[in-house]
Chains A and B, each alone.
Chain A
Amino acid sequence: MTQLATTASVPAYVLRLADDALILAQRLGEWSAHAPELEEDVALTNIALDLLGHARMLLSYAGELLGGRTEDDLAFLRDEREFVNCQLVERPNGDFAATVARQLFFAAYQCELYAALGESADATLAAIADRAVKEVSYHRDHAVQWTLRLGDGTPESHRRMQAGVDGLWPYTSELFESDDLLLALVAAGVAVDPVALRPAWSGFLGPVLAEATLTVPETTWAPSGGRRGLHTEDFGLLLAEMQHLHRSHPGASW
């Protein structure tokens, strides 16, 4: 691997991390004023704001590496096929239980990821990960609390929580896929090998799901493609809502 290849691939990797955080923040923001309880409304939007903060740091860094592009350029002026987030984070919120399942799967992944990324050879990425891991750890705890209560709650809450797990589980396999870009960056000590994160992720989730009396579906369906810009049908609507203001009023600011 040449130094040049590494230099070109770092911003591509940073964009993956950034888009995951940005798109999940946008999804969680949809709960604003719609959550089942006022207190939960604040909790979910707090988490969304944490993620948006991570996304802004990562997008700014990616923009810098790409040569003078701003966080707004990257967030609001890229088209659907240019986004490289995993498909899990773009999945519609569904009911509260489905949102909790998505949070559980993704926050558990992000916790392992950021903890490992804190050791990255890229000092900026390491610093961002060090800061983000504390917040993501709270996100994971929040999701665990609700998973336990909904899963091991009433028959209705259990049914909904299980449905959330069943519907989103297939999308988790994409989190642990590797590709040439990752292999090169892992070798350079910049990126975290996602394959290596899976045992810790499964080890964390197993006891939580068991205590919540939830089961993992047996399925071989493993949708993929987000890292290559392939997204699910709902993603276009999300982008339209997220980007329309910026695109309708270019350069507008508060």
Chain B
Amino acid sequence: MAGAGSPNGSVPGSVPGSEATEPASRGWPLWEVFIRARRGLAHNHVGSLHAADAELAMGMARDVYTRRSEGVSIWVVPTASITASSPDEKDAFFASAADKPYRHPTFYDVPAGVKHL
């Protein structure tokens, strides 16, 4: 668009001196976005975005992830605050549960007439 002027001119949050060559997102931390679709449900992870701070991340999450009435509540969490399990430790973490089928409630007979079970 001819009228757009110099749209990439202002680069808040980026490292001083790096504006000319680096996209702004290099200076903006990543945030994970969680949305609760309606009351009574848990917040679900829906994606991530770059933002300069929590308040802006919240506004951007609203704009990017709730355009089609997807939610009634939003959480934004700095990606750096999340401690994730390592794929390398997958076996040590999760394999031992695989041969313990008795932990599933499938071996119990549900008595007839019991509601809400």
Chain A residues proximal to chain B, CB less than 8 Å: 27, 30-32, 34-40, 42-43, 46, 92-98, 138, 141-142, 145-146, 149-150, 153-154, 156-157, 160-161, 234, 237-238, 241
Contact = CB atoms under 8 A, between A and B. Distances in A.
Interface stretch (B56-64, B79-87, B92-100, B101-109): B56-64
Interface of B: 1-13, 16, 19, 24-25, 28, 49-53, 55-56, 59-60, 62-64, 67
Contact of B7 (A27, A46, A95, A150): A95
Contacts of B49: 38-39
A46 B5 CA distance: 20
Nearest to A161: B10
A142 B59 contact: yes
Contacts of A156: 10, 19
Given A27-B3, A42-B63, A237-B3, A96 B24 contact: no
B2 A43 contact: no
Given A153-B12, A154-B12, A157-B10, A36 B24 contact: yes
A37 B5 contact: no
Nearest to A45: B63
Nearest to B51: A39
B16 A149 contact: no
B4 A31 contact: yes
Nearest to A159: B10
Given A37-B25, A46-B67, A149-B56, A30 B3 contact: yes
B11 A36 contact: yes
Given A34-B1, A34-B7, A156-B10, A145 B24 contact: no
A45 to B, nearest CB: 9
B64 A95 contact: no
Contacts of B56: 145, 149
Given A35-B7, A37-B25, A156-B10, 7 more contacts: A31-B4, A31-B7, A94-B5, A95-B6, A150-B10, A157-B12, A160-B10
Given A39-B50, A39-B51, A156-B19, A46 B3 contact: no
B5 A43 contact: no
Task: Give the one of A30, A37, A138, A160 with max B CB within 10 A.
Answer: A37
A238 B3 contact: yes
A39 B1 contact: no
A43 B55 CA distance: 14
B60 A39 contact: yes
Contacts of A31: 4, 7
Q: Which 5 A-B pairs have the closest CB atoms?
A: A95-B9, A39-B60, A30-B1, A34-B7, A43-B63
Contact of A40 (B2, B60, B67): B60
A37 B56 CA distance: 12
Contacts of B8: 36, 96
Contacts of A37: 24-25, 28, 50
Contacts of B5: 92-95, 98
Contact of B9 (A96, A154, A237, A241): A96
A160 B9 contact: yes
